[in-house]
Structures are given as C-alpha cells and as structure tokens.
C-alpha cells in the first residue's frame, strides 16, 4: 500500500514507550506519517498506534524487530517504503542500557550494547540513505551526555554512545548536502526503569543548573525542530540536559 498523501514520513525506532512514544506523538501532531518500531513492547505499540490512528486514519505502520540482528535494519526501511512510498526522516531512538562494572565485562556485554546502540543506527542510515536523499530528509540519533562523561560502571554503554556520536558526524559529512544528520544528548529526562536511589537522584539534580529533570516533550520538541525546521544545521549533537554539562 502506497501512501496516497504528500505527508512526510518518519521511521522512529523504539517508539512504543517513554521518550520514543513522546517523539511519535509530537511528530504525528505536526503532520508526519510514522513507521513505529518496537522490539518487545507490542502491547504499548498497539495502544500508541490506535491512539494516533484515531486522530488520522492510515497514518501509521507498526514494525517489530530486534535491532541486535543486523539483518533487521534494511527490512525496516524496505517495509516503510513499501507502505508509504517515501521516507523523509529517521529517528534512531532505540537503545540498550545495562551496567558493565570493570572486572565483570564480557564480550557478550560489548556485542549486545554496540549492536543496538551503534551498529543498528548506522545500518539503518545506510539502508535509508537513498530514500532520504530523494526527499532531502534528515536523521536524528539519540546519543547521551554519558558519551562525553561516562557514568561509572557503565563504560561499554558510554563507549557505544560515543561511537554513535562519531557515526553522527561521519554521516553528516557523507550524506551532505542532501541529508542532514544530527544528534541529541539527553540529560536526566526519565529515570532508569530499574530505579535510581534518592541520593543519586539528588546528586544529579544538584549538578543540573535548571535544578529539575527534563520532560520527554523536551526531547520530542528538539527532534521535531531538527527534522522540520533546522534547515541549516547538520553534524551537531545538541545537549538537552538542563545545563548539566556546563563547565561550572
């Protein structure tokens, strides 16, 4: 089925919950049609798609795949193009996150984190490149402030996000001038689902000049700006962190 409209189309990975769902809602409200990906959060993705379809029928596609498998990336892009006939944006939001204390790091830790956080976004960008060139589209990668200032006990995660930062800069050069590529490095927006003790939370907020956590809408709004409005911005990683990385 080809999209009968001229609405722009964006593929969002990890779209079912949390920041991914906020991005999906913001883009859909701005008039984008969406290919929504999840790995295992099928019920949440179905609910989100039902919500969006109720406001604009025929505007979404659901996709389920494990991005740890390299062959998933080109299939997601091909399915999106088959459904909509175009691709204007790619948001690499899906991420793997778990601790890797020094002395306990395994090759499996490395493979799991790098496969989802670094390899999958690169392979998705590669698969989407021709379609994005055709629409003069854009890519937004969700990086992390820990790519610059690694969180103790999470060295492999930080390294994988640093690799994604490097990919953002490399792709911005290689895909110019037709495709813009930028990144967003969130600070404390949502606490990890595994929990964070009150002392750790207080310490983070004490080092955040705006003295509060951010909202998923803060990230979603930045994604929308980068995709739609930032026509002369490429090769940038924007910190949306309440000032936490200020050198003060």
- Residue 70, C-beta contacts closer than 8 angstroms, at least 6 positions apart: 115, 119, 120, 123
In this structure, are residues 219 and 22 in contact, taking their beta carbons and an 8 Å threshold? yes
Whether residue 69 contacts residue 80, with contact meaning beta carbons closer than 8 Å, is answered with no
The burial of 44, by beta-carbon neighbours within 10 Å (0-12 exposed, 13-18 middle, 19 or more buried), is given as middle
Alpha carbon distance 139, 154 (integer Å): 26
**DSSP codes, 18-87:** HHHHHHHHHHHHTT-EEEEEESS-HHHHHHHHHHHHHHSTT-EEEEE--TTSTTHHHHHHHHHHHHHS--
Q: Which one from 60, 157, 172, 239 is the annotated catalytic residue?
A: 157
Return the axis-axis angle of helices 216-224 and 18-29, rounded to nearest 10°: 50
Find where tokens 């008039």 sit: 31
* 157 included as an active-site residue: yes
d(CA 120, CA 93): 11
Catalytic residues: 157
């Amino acid at each position: 089925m080809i999209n009968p409209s001229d609405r722009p189309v964006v593929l969002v990975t990890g779209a079912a919950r949390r920041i991914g769902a906020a991005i999906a809602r913001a883009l859909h409200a701005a008039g984008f049609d969406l290919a929504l990906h999840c790995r295992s959060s099928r019920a949440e993705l179905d609910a989100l798609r039902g919500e969006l379809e109720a406001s604009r029928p025929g505007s979404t596609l659901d996709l389920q795949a494990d991005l740890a498998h390299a062959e998933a990336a080109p299939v997601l892009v091909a399915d999106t193009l088959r459904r909509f006939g175009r691709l204007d944006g790619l948001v690499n939001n899906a991420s793997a996150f778990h601790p890797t204390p020094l002395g306990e790091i395994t090759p499996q830790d490395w493979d799991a984190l790098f496969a989802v956080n670094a390899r999958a976004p690169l392979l998705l960008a590669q698969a989407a490149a021709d379609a994005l060139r055709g629409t003069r589209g854009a890519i937004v990668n969700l990086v992390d402030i820990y790519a610059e200032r690694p969180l103790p006990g999470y060295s492999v995660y930080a390294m994988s996000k640093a690799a994604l930062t490097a990919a953002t800069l490399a792709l911005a050069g290689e895909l110019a001038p037709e495709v813009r590529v930028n990144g967003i490095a969130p600070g404390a927006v949502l606490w990890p689902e595994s929990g964070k003790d009150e002392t750790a939370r207080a310490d983070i907020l004490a080092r955040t000049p705006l003295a509060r956590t951010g909202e998923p809408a803060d990230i979603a709004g930045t994604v929308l700006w980068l995709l739609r409005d930032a026509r002369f911005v490429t090769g940038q990683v924007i910190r949306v962190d309440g000032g936490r990385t200020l050198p003060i």
